[in-house]
Amino acid sequence: MLWLGWAALGLAIFSCRSNTDTDSSKPAGLTEAIVSDTTQPDPAPLDIPAARDSTAPKAPAVRTSKQETIPPKVFEVLDYIRKNNRAPEGYVGGRRFGNFEKLLPQKTPAGKPIQYREWDVNPRQEGQNRGSERLVTGSDERAWFTRDHYNSFVEVKKKKTVLEQ
């Protein structure tokens, strides 16, 4: 009877496969990922106010700022869009911007819903990330600039000419 116990133990050990087997019926990499995760120290938690306290009031994401902080290229792209109703050659833009976070005004003073479109302010370069700067235009004729990919906005106001000052 003792030999039967040893045989069962041997069979159990033999039938357990390691993660180095080439059995394609099992997903590869799962064990390795779990093992490698346990060898690294836990990263420090991110210092995000919302993560610390979900009841904390949200700071307004629309900033009122001097127009001088908006790069000249933003005004150039906006002028082109307003004249041609499309992005300049070599730029990405014109897609619907959902405003899902509701950081921009949702309705006009008359109560009409505002539709938004987003535009790059830098020309597309093959093999490179498009960056985080965007221009957002609304059906209410207002425009907004974001440096941080829609996390905050500055309204882009028409530059005054010498005669308008």
Q: Quick one: pLDDT at residue 44?
A: 41
**Cα–Cα nearest to 117, from 139, 101, 100, 149:** 139
pLDDT greater than 50 at residue 158: yes
Percent of the chain beyond pLDDT 70? 55
Distance of alpha carbon 40 from alpha carbon 138, whole angstroms:
47
| Torsion 83-86-91-97 (CA) sign | positive
Q: Quick one: pLDDT at residue 7?
A: 52
**Cα–Cα nearest to 152, from 164, 138, 136, 163:** 136
Q: Quick one: pLDDT at residue 69?
A: 82
pLDDT per residue over 102-133, tens digit each? Answer: 999 999 999 999 999 999 999 999 999 999 99
Domain boundaries, the chain: 62-164
Percent of the chain beyond pLDDT 90? 53
Q: How confident is the model at residue 33 (pLDDT cuts 50, 70, 90)?
A: very low
Look at 90 and 59; give whichever has higher pLDDT: 90
pLDDT per residue over 80-100, tens digit each? Answer: 999 999 999 999 999 999 999
Q: What is the mean pLDDT of residues 63-76?
A: 77
> Each residue of 45-65: b (16+ CB within 10 Å) or e?
eeeeeeeeeeeeeeeeeeeee
Q: What is the mean pLDDT of residues 28-53?
A: 36
**Cα–Cα nearest to 119, from 153, 86, 89, 79:** 86
Query: Looking at domain 62-164, does it have CATH number 3.40.50.12280?
Result: no
Alpha helices in the chain (DSSP H): 2-15, 30-39, 49-52, 72-84
The chain-wide mean pLDDT, for the chain, equals 72
Q: How confident is the model at residue 29 (pLDDT cuts 50, 70, 90)?
A: very low
Q: Quick one: pLDDT at residue 53?
A: 42
Whole-model pTM over 0.75: no
